[in-house]
């Protein structure tokens, strides 16, 4: 019998669900996954289960955890490899993960996550290039300082900071804003990670009825 439930939204669109799901799976939590098809905001099924009206929501061993950054921390208590072992690297990982959790609103709105076919909808907006450049710099600087020995931000281990930026990778690969060669290589490495690949595969199997015209219009 599973030890709880992870509630997520439509995989095709729900970037925050992806950010919560990755650490839960890396930590190997034995939780049932419940996917709630998003309705484009104020989804009744999400409101019925989540205190914030948002997903992801993790229920595990009687604990309820919402907000992706808190889910990362919860999972890291059980799987410490979700943060780097080195003190300075760990501080940096938390800082860049928190920056993602708190920011880049304009980038997220202009380049919404959509794992379906590209449509180039009429409402497509210009990406905020200053925010694209900031993320590019975060990735390059982090990899230069801490990334030796592997393709991820902190080297060989895909950790919570990578999980927080994984939906940005899907956006950069889809919308192709101008990014550095190093950032592009990082995107390719994240896309090839088995769990990221699994998320994409599962998204591709979602029912056609879950596709939202309003979300497709800006993709
Ligand atoms: N700050 C929240 C953001 C969560 C969020 O915005 N989730 C969206 C889906 S990506 C949601 O639940 N929207 C409700 C809806 O579409 O009904 C977190 O880190 O978990």
**Which tens digits make up the pLDDT trace of 100-124?**
999 999 999 999 999 999 877 767 7
Q: What average pLDDT does this structure show over 128-157?
A: 98
Query: Quick one: DSSP state of residue 56?
Result: -
Distance CA 28, CA 39 (A): 29
- Phi/psi of residue 117, nearest 5 degrees: -60, 145
Which run of H or E residues covers position 171? helix 160-175
Distance CA 115, CA 200 (A): 7
Q: What average pLDDT does this structure show over 24-31?
A: 98
111-120, 130-139, 201-210: the lowest-pLDDT one: 111-120
Closest ligand 1 atom to 20 CA:
20
Distance CA 112, CA 92 (A): 26
Instruction: Determine if ligand 1 sits within 6 Å of the CB of residue 42.
Output: yes
Closest ligand 1 atom to 56 CA:
20
pLDDT over threshold 80, residue 96 = yes
Q: pLDDT band for position 126 (50/70/90)?
A: confident
pLDDT over threshold 80, residue 52 = yes
Instruction: Determine if ligand 1 sits within 6 Å of the CB of residue 14.
Output: yes
**pLDDT confidence of residue 90:** 98
Beta-carbon contacts of 61 under 8 Å, excluding residues fewer than 6 positions away, are 3, 4
Distance CA 22, CA 199 (A): 9
Judged on CB neighbours under 10 Å (0-12, 13-18, 19+), 186 is buried
Closest ligand 1 atom to 47 CA:
17
**pLDDT confidence of residue 201:** 98
Q: Tell how far CA 156 is from the center of its chain.
A: 19
Instruction: Determine if ligand 1 sits within 6 Å of the CB of residue 163.
Output: no
Judged on CB neighbours under 10 Å (0-12, 13-18, 19+), 198 is middle
> Which pTM value belongs to this model?
0.97
């Amino acid at each position: 019998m599973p030890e709880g439930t992870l509630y997520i939204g439509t995989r095709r669109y729900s970037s925050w669900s992806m950010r919560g799901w990755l650490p839960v799976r890396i930590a190997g939590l034995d939780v049932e996954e419940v996917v709630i098809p998003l309705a484009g905001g104020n989804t009744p099924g999400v409101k019925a289960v989540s205190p914030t009206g948002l997903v992801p929501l993790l229920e595990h061993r009687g604990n309820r955890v919402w907000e992706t950054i808190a889910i990362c921390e919860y999972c890291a208590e059980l799987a410490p490899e979700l943060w780097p072992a080195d003190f300075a690297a760990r501080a940096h990982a938390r800082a860049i993960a928190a920056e993602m959790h708190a920011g880049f609103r304009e980038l997220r709105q202009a380049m919404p996550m959509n794992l379906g076919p590209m449509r180039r909808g009429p409402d497509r907006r210009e990406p905020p290039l200053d925010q694209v450049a900031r993320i590019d710099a975060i990735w390059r600087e982090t990899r230069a300082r801490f990334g030796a020995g592997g393709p991820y931000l902190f080297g060989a281990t895909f950790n919570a900071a990578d999980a927080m930026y994984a939906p940005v990778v899907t956006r950069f690969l889809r919308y192709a804003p101008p990014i550095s060669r190093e950032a592009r290589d990082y995107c390719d490495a994240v896309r090839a990670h088995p769990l990221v690949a699994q998320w994409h595969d599962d998204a591709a199997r979602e029912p056609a009825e879950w596709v939202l015209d309003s979300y497709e219009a800006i993709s």
